[in-house]
Structure 1
Amino acid sequence: MRALAAFAVVLPLVCVDVEAQETAAPETPPADAQADGAPLDTIPVASADAPPPVPAAEPQDEAQGLAEIVVTAQKRKQSLHDVPISVSALSGDLLKDINASNLADASTYIPNVRVDADDLGSPQVFIRGFGTNTFNPSFESSVGFVEDEIFYGRGAYFTESMFDIDRVEVLRGPQGTLFGKNTVAGLYNVITASPTEQFSGNLRLSTGQYNEQRLEGGVGGMFNDWFGARLAVLAQSGDGELYNQYLDRDEDKMRQKAGRLKLRLLPLDDVTMDVTLQRSVTDINFWPYELFALDTGTRNYLDKFDPDIEDDPYDFRTSFDQPGFINKNSATESLKTDWAMGDLGGIRDAHLILIGGYSNLAINQLNDLDVSPADLLRLYNYEDYGQTSAELRFSGRSDSLFGLGQSVDFVAGGFFFESNYKLRAQVAVGHDIGSYVLTQDAWQLITGNLNALPGNIATLPILGDLLAGVIGDDAYQFDYRQKLKSGALYAQMTWNISEHWALTPGIRYNRETKDVDSAGTAHCRTAPTCLTPLLLGAKDYSHPNLKRDETDWSPKVALQYIWDPNLNVYASYARGYKSGGYNSLSYTGEDLAFKPEKAGTAEVGFKGRFFERRLNFNMALYQTKLDDLQVLAFHGATTNVGNASATSQGLEADFQWLTPWRMLMLNGSFGLIDASYDQYPDAPAPISQGINATQDLKGKRLAFTPKQTATLTPVLTLPLGSLVARLSADAIWQGEQYTDTDLDPHTRVGGYMEYAARLSLGSADDLWTLTVGGSNLGDKRVLNQATDAVLFPGTYYAQQSAGRQYYAALAINW
């Protein structure tokens, strides 16, 4: 009933989290503004907070309304109002205002989207209930990631440095036709700031709790009529909330530095070349887990290592012995060349665009796999990834389709992608493993019987010291290499059949090959009888020269009825595809292969602008059928991969309302998800049903799918002479969800409400702004995720969501 009461408040509130501007709203953008090759940095995207109000001496024109929101969701510039898909846009100004440091912070304001970015190497991104746990590196993300028109093939790019952003577009549903594979659930399309016509710059300094410091800035412009540049930098650091009492250190302590140089060259009047060079380096203490629900045997054992051991998952305290870390760095170079060809016969405003890029990503990390003060199990992991991509596309418009109907906008092209990925991971026993093998937990794992021993045989840490010399180095190692090549041809057009009807068909053909070498090997002085594989149930294997060759057709069709320039209704169907592969973390070498995902989504929606364009309201209903959903099942330290099938259906809506009281604006969002398995017969079962037990999850809800999400953001703007004050507040609702595939009751997170607020004071000409704000002001303590512990059956690892935090920021523009 509490949840229903919350929904009664926020049901009509829906968010395209964008900042409104009290300026005359134009009609549909002119043809030249929609050209595929038009510079992207001049788009007047709004953010969720209101701009400075009209000065009191100049009464507001009642005809004024919300500014047009322009996006590139269909690889050409369009009003968001005209795009026949469910899409949200977040401006760079909004991201700064809410003090967002990553996409997880931003995604809170987007309906039916969930991003968990605590693990920089394996983020989890879900749209409409579908996503991928990339803890298994052979899994590619079901949500695509594109930045500055470069597609990135690893989920770890979601947690790369986010700075000097112009806007973020989130496209829900399959985007296979224009963006290709790995977009079965949707796509994040990130556009960074580019050189402006006039020299300009901005700098933002912020500070917050836990010694958080962030410096972000960019400067540049066109230096003459043929050359321009923009340099952007980021430096941030912080200690984080989670304190490790055993090591006396902060487990979330982070340092990150990044830079981006954009060069714009105009060698000819009709040719624009954009060169982008970007680097990022991140170091963080790792990882952010606490023990949860210790049983008596486990507690008695761990007490000998830390007498203050506790299992409260809501106190931001943990206790483990390994000083883990994650080091991550990336480098990207890209070139976009746009030839504005003008009119070619019956084709108007033709553009030929070539985009090429190379990126390298490296991750090195050490994790305390048992998350306890005993030195039992460690995970070493090194990943090296490189990708090369190229896209050539041609776009334009004609007055009709072979004399039929009205204008046609089209885009067609080809895409090539190649990547190389190497993984070396090792699970190794620690110094205290000799004391662990005589515990109840150890015998439960070895025998597979939760009642193996009534209690611990011995709980003496000295046994570890005595047996360490006998056991020596003992580990199980994974070696995985994958070479991928992908090529695609695609085409899409929008045919304005009449004044009121528009049809958008599209198709993409994709072919992909993968060459994989996979091996698992035990290493110890007592080989072939090693302790690590005994605990993990592992054995040696080697599978070189594994191959996959897949093809896919991804069609799309959308039909729009345009009632008038301010209201249109659409219906669409789209398919998406994600390639199959081979399990990179298998302990046995058996059943390595998993099938490609294929999703089909039917969607109906409307987009409306009302009250002289002072209210934008968008809503969509959808149903997605996903065949061969790639699933990851955790059984303690082991990870099994396979395929299931599922259906997701629901609603998402968003709105902006410039209220009759011109100083107040309301933004909001609302999402509903009903996502369940159609087939998943051998899913993992809760540990209470037995070690390695399975269950049939047919008809059961998918994890990581809150039933409802909603936001409400009122923004009050007050003129104070030459200054402007702005007060913003957020009410954020997250519905009930499970955070592990097995739907164990311990992993359930109930619905909850959070609140945030910001107060800004700045000059009316926007030269400077001082902001103070806070998030989770009620200090709501909830779990972001809970999973089974590796070596302690019946115990869990808990990952806590952020508590109350405050910040202050100074922004300067010139």
Structure 2
Amino acid sequence: MKSLNLTALLLAAATATAAAQQADIEVDSLETIAVAPPAEPAEALSSSEPAQLEEIVVTAQKRSQSLQEVPISVTALDGGFIRETGAADLADVALYVPNVRVDADDLGSPQLFIRGFGTNAFNPSFESSVGFVQDDIFYGRPGYFTESMYDVDRVEVLRGPQGTLFGKNTIAGVFNVTTKNPTDTFSSDGRVTYGSFNTQRIDAGAGGMFADWGGARVAGLYRKEDGQLRNTFLNRDEEALEQKAARLKFRLFPFDSVTSDLMFQASDTSAPFWPYQLFKLDDDTRGYLEAFDAGVEDNPTNFRTQSDTAGFINKGSQTLGLRTQWAIGDIGSVHNSNAVLVLAGSRFHINQLNELDVSPADIARLDSHEHHEQLSAELRFAGETDTLFGLGDKVEFVAGGFVYDSRYQLRASINAGADIGSYLLTRDFCQLAGLPPGICGDGSNVSLPGLPIFGDITAPLIGPDNYAFDYLQDTLSIAGFGQATWHITERWAVTPGVRINREQKDVDSRGTPNCRLAVGDNPPCVISTLLMANAYDQRGLQRNEFDVSPKLVLQYFADTGVNLYGSYARGYKSGGFNSLSYTGEDLEFRPETADTFELGAKSEFFDRTLRFNATLYRTKFTDLQVLAFNGVFFDVSNAASATSQGLEGDFLWLTPWQPLQISGSFGLLDATYDDYRDAPAPVRDANGNLQIGALQDLSGKRIAFAPRQTASLTPQLSFPLPLGLGGRLAGDVIYQGDQFTDADLDPNTFVPAYTIYNARLTIANDDESLSLTIGGTNLGDKRVLNQVIDATFFPGTYFAQQANGRQLFVAIAAQF
């Protein structure tokens, strides 16, 4: 997509009123870890009134209610807190949320895990286990998680399953993002940030009501950074990134009781690709690669890599939505009734070229193009009655229907590089091909040299050579849902709910070898032979699924400020077909389901100066969808059942010393496979011997991406300064427990526990209209690996992805 032009966006939004939108989702906030907005320092110190926590009104159950009445495990971060911490994306936000992990370094295939469960989206067949909703619009591809995050009012994380009200593919939970809306009077705000590694960020928004019949808000983002990972072979930054985005919201009042919000937004992101480093090179692989670059190395924590392909990823989206709310009022015995209609349409694309061997040798590349289009509509009706057939107290309810129609297309190819001929004469290829050890050698000598000259000689003979994937998927989901809370007495309430969903997927899938010798259905092409792939053409594939997701909650409201709840909920993630199959066999995989029991407490103490919420849970997953590495690429299957159980909570304390407030979170997680007998085994056994394609029994073992403990602590001190200024000094202590980062639980993919420290100082005038923030993240420069996976083409070697080191930033913000 071409660079965004703000004038063009405004014109497009103004003329595109035939489609769909949303804007002001009723969700005001969920439990907020940071006071939002932060207290004005000078005023806070001089006030004689004791501070109290403000009541938070939420619509986590798609109707307005107090946070303390919401029987869901929820954490939310206020937009002001997000900006002050310097968070640039949802991965940064997730550090403050217990039992949640977001890995967004792969912009096209982010990985999200809640309570240890999530989806490796590298194979685009998989739909995310964590739903993404922004401004009441459901987005159906994982890549939307890495779209531009700006002009945000709050980010809410609802732990799953959330299938009753939010639908399919929320089996692990939902990220619910709400952006700012037009204010009653004109207002504007902006922030300019500059930081380490040439990080530049400008985001701003302005708007308000221009007449009694409507108003508007426009917002935009420009973000650019070089990143820390340096490619010394190509002399370029592999984590460089540029994002441009804009959003326009109209709020219209066509009738006294009707509010319509029209929204158009677009974003464009470009970056090099991939951000990986080699790890644990063996002698023969090192000897082969040193022939291409004498400086090749395998230190995974030095922010250096040596790949030869100038890869890239370009991604972007355009969304148009319309949200209309009609305040109906009383209808017979139903009071405060209202209807909401949300219509939305979105397009999303990813074009990428990345190197599959992450080395200075040109062995193979992945050229991939994804296009996604979706249309959605949700109509819901909410209200309340005085009793249920004369029994008990009031009943609050919401019911409605949802339709989602999408088309996803993938065209990708694995292309042979210029050095593929030399690779075919290496010990690594010999081992992958399963040839006898006597031919491959024992690694103590270079029995198969694999010299670069062999690639130069064979390249003209091999010519263009690739294996291509062509995948088309149409999805239609139709659901009806309903939920009601019956207040049996003043203290007791029960909430039943259910969602009935029917889905149909129609798929055409094809794999094709292409090369100079392409004669017949399965020609002897180099890449297809290396991948053990053959031609297939599967058209007219179809899946029809029917699911019922029930929910039942029992609540108790006490006089002490402690409200308790117990709940049961079921959710599911739909099945599908493998879009990256090499053989066309075993394409289909089943849906996975989850059943969760929770016991939770919502509490406020000490004259409403301490809010503490915690949840004890147990979740059982069945038919878990997994990716298994086969030595070259990933296969898709239903392979396991698993259980996750633990405790999570967060708190906000306005301490007796009024300038100090403390917030924090904690999570305890025990997530294990119940039954996973045919799991992929590490590529090397405990003695270092290769066992390519071997299986193992992981029943009873801890699953990957499931740290046993996570925690964060954020004290914030407000103090006065001369000239009517005030200051805030805040710091973060963020702890992540140890975890495996690959499904085979290879010890080499184990990441030990670590703690990082952040800090920031904000100086602002008395009304917070102008502020300066100086801060830093990972101040101890802790070197941490986000993920370690088996390397393609080099058995026994790994690809490592490194988390950010120390970064400093300065930001100037203004609001009027």
Q: Pick the TM interval, shorter chain.
A: over 0.9
Q: Which residue among 498, 501, 516 is the counterpart of 1:510?
A: 501
Q: Which residue among 183, 193, 201 is the counterpart of 1:214?
A: 201
Question: Equivalences for 1:405-416 in 2 at 5 Å?
Answer: 405-416=392-403
Counterpart residue number, 1:472: 463
Distance (whole Å) between structure 1 residues aligned to residue 66 and residue 772 of structure 2 = 32
Counterpart residue number, 2:658: 662
Give how far 1:424 is off. Answer: 0.7
Distance (whole Å) between structure 1 residues aligned to residue 745 and residue 73 of structure 2 = 29
Structure 2 residue matching 1:302: 3-state secondary structure: helix
CA deviations over 1:628-670 (Å, ceiling 9, x no partner):
1100112233211111111100000111111111111111111
Structure 2 residue matching 1:230: 3-state secondary structure: strand
Counterpart residue number, 2:485: 494
* Counterpart amino acid of residue 505 in structure 2: K
Taking a change above 3 Å as real, the CA distance of residues 38 and 494 of structure 1, as seen in their structure-2 partners, is farther
Counterpart residue number, 1:806: 808
Question: Equivalences for 1:72-471 in 2 at 5 Å?
Answer: 72-447=59-434, 452-454=440-442, 455-471=446-462
Distance (whole Å) between structure 2 residues aligned to residue 424 and residue 787 of structure 1 = 25
Structure 1 residue matching 2:756: 3-state secondary structure: strand
Structure 1 residue matching 2:598: 3-state secondary structure: strand
Taking a change above 3 Å as real, the CA distance of residues 634 and 490 of structure 1, as seen in their structure-2 partners, is same
**Contact 2:76-2:156 at 8 Å conserved across structures:** yes
**Contact 2:424-2:450 at 8 Å conserved across structures:** no
Give how far 1:572 is off. Answer: 0.2
Give how far 1:348 is off. Answer: 1.0
Distance (whole Å) between structure 2 residues aligned to residue 658 and residue 261 of structure 1 = 37
Counterpart residue number, 1:15: none
CA deviations over 1:696-724 (Å, ceiling 9, x no partner):
11111110111100011110000225111
Give how far 1:323 is off. Answer: 0.3
Counterpart residue number, 1:714: 715
* Counterpart amino acid of residue 743 in structure 1: L
Are 2:529 and 1:529 equivalent residues in the alignment?
no
Are 2:633 and 1:638 equivalent residues in the alignment?
yes
Structure 1 residue matching 2:460: 3-state secondary structure: helix
CA deviations over 1:736-760 (Å, ceiling 9, x no partner):
1000000001100000111000000
Counterpart residue number, 1:796: 798
Counterpart residue number, 1:701: 702
Counterpart residue number, 1:651: 647
Structure 2 residue matching 1:171: 3-state secondary structure: strand
Distance (whole Å) between structure 2 residues aligned to residue 524 and residue 642 of structure 1 = 30
Structure 2 residue matching 1:746: 3-state secondary structure: helix
Are 2:35 and 1:52 equivalent residues in the alignment?
no
**Contact 2:26-2:62 at 8 Å conserved across structures:** no
* Counterpart amino acid of residue 710 in structure 1: A
Counterpart residue number, 1:9: none
Distance (whole Å) between structure 2 residues aligned to residue 681 and residue 45 of structure 1 = 41
Taking a change above 3 Å as real, the CA distance of residues 37 and 68 of structure 1, as seen in their structure-2 partners, is farther
Counterpart residue number, 1:573: 568
Distance (whole Å) between structure 2 residues aligned to residue 39 and residue 435 of structure 1 = 58
CA deviations over 1:310-342 (Å, ceiling 9, x no partner):
100000000011000000010000000111111
CA deviations over 1:264-303 (Å, ceiling 9, x no partner):
0101100000001000000001110000000000000000
Give how far 1:764 is off. Answer: 1.6
Distance (whole Å) between structure 2 residues aligned to residue 504 and residue 37 of structure 1 = 28
Q: Which residue among 601, 607, 619 is the counterpart of 1:606?
A: 601
CA deviations over 1:763-799 (Å, ceiling 9, x no partner):
1201111000000000000100000000100000000
Counterpart residue number, 2:592: 597
Q: Which residue among 526, 546, 550 is the counterpart of 2:541?
A: 546
CA deviations over 1:453-491 (Å, ceiling 9, x no partner):
233422321111111000101111111110000000000
**Contact 2:33-2:664 at 8 Å conserved across structures:** no
Give how far 1:497 is off. Answer: 1.0
Counterpart residue number, 1:672: 668
Counterpart residue number, 1:728: 730
Give how far 1:565 is off. Answer: 6.9
Distance (whole Å) between structure 2 residues aligned to residue 462 and residue 562 of structure 1 = 77
Distance (whole Å) between structure 2 residues aligned to residue 779 and residue 392 of structure 1 = 49
Counterpart residue number, 1:785: 787
Give how far 1:60 is off. Answer: 2.7
Give how far 1:59 is off. Answer: 3.8
Counterpart residue number, 2:18: none
**Contact 1:230-1:262 at 8 Å conserved across structures:** yes
**Which stretches in structure 1 are left out of the alignment for 5+ residues?**
1-35
Counterpart residue number, 2:11: none
Distance (whole Å) between structure 2 residues aligned to residue 95 and residue 538 of structure 1 = 47
Counterpart residue number, 1:3: none
**Contact 1:438-1:456 at 8 Å conserved across structures:** no
Which deviates more, 440-449 or 201-210?
440-449
**Contact 2:28-2:57 at 8 Å conserved across structures:** no
**Contact 1:396-1:410 at 8 Å conserved across structures:** yes
Counterpart residue number, 1:751: 753
Distance (whole Å) between structure 2 residues aligned to residue 104 and residue 39 of structure 1 = 23
**Contact 1:406-1:495 at 8 Å conserved across structures:** yes
**Contact 1:37-1:338 at 8 Å conserved across structures:** no
**Contact 2:29-2:154 at 8 Å conserved across structures:** no
**Contact 2:44-2:659 at 8 Å conserved across structures:** no
**Contact 1:239-1:253 at 8 Å conserved across structures:** yes
* Counterpart amino acid of residue 611 in structure 2: N
Counterpart residue number, 1:27: none
* Counterpart amino acid of residue 707 in structure 2: P
Distance (whole Å) between structure 1 residues aligned to residue 215 and residue 237 of structure 2 = 43
Counterpart residue number, 1:761: 763
Give how far 1:563 is off. Answer: 0.7
Distance (whole Å) between structure 2 residues aligned to residue 428 and residue 57 of structure 1 = 65
Distance (whole Å) between structure 2 residues aligned to residue 577 and residue 162 of structure 1 = 28
**Contact 1:45-1:167 at 8 Å conserved across structures:** no
**Contact 1:450-1:691 at 8 Å conserved across structures:** no
TM-score normalised according to structure 2 size: 0.94
Which deviates more, 398-407 or 242-251?
398-407
Taking a change above 3 Å as real, the CA distance of residues 352 and 757 of structure 1, as seen in their structure-2 partners, is same
Give how far 1:81 is off. Answer: 1.6
Taking a change above 3 Å as real, the CA distance of residues 683 and 57 of structure 1, as seen in their structure-2 partners, is closer
Distance (whole Å) between structure 2 residues aligned to residue 599 and residue 339 of structure 1 = 35
Distance (whole Å) between structure 2 residues aligned to residue 86 and residue 450 of structure 1 = 55
**Contact 2:432-2:631 at 8 Å conserved across structures:** no
Give how far 1:552 is off. Answer: 0.4
CA deviations over 1:67-111 (Å, ceiling 9, x no partner):
123332111222222100100111110110111111000010000
**Contact 1:444-1:453 at 8 Å conserved across structures:** no
TM-score normalised according to structure 1 size: 0.94
* Counterpart amino acid of residue 639 in structure 1: F
**Contact 2:30-2:75 at 8 Å conserved across structures:** no
* Counterpart amino acid of residue 40 in structure 2: P
**How many residue pairs were aligned?**
778
Taking a change above 3 Å as real, the CA distance of residues 545 and 43 of structure 1, as seen in their structure-2 partners, is closer
**Which stretches in structure 2 are left out of the alignment for 5+ residues?**
1-21, 686-690
Structure 2 residue matching 1:441: 3-state secondary structure: helix
Give how far 1:173 is off. Answer: 1.8
* Counterpart amino acid of residue 786 in structure 1: V
Taking a change above 3 Å as real, the CA distance of residues 467 and 172 of structure 1, as seen in their structure-2 partners, is same
* Counterpart amino acid of residue 287 in structure 2: N
Distance (whole Å) between structure 1 residues aligned to residue 728 and residue 33 of structure 2 = 13
Give how far 1:44 is off. Answer: 9.9
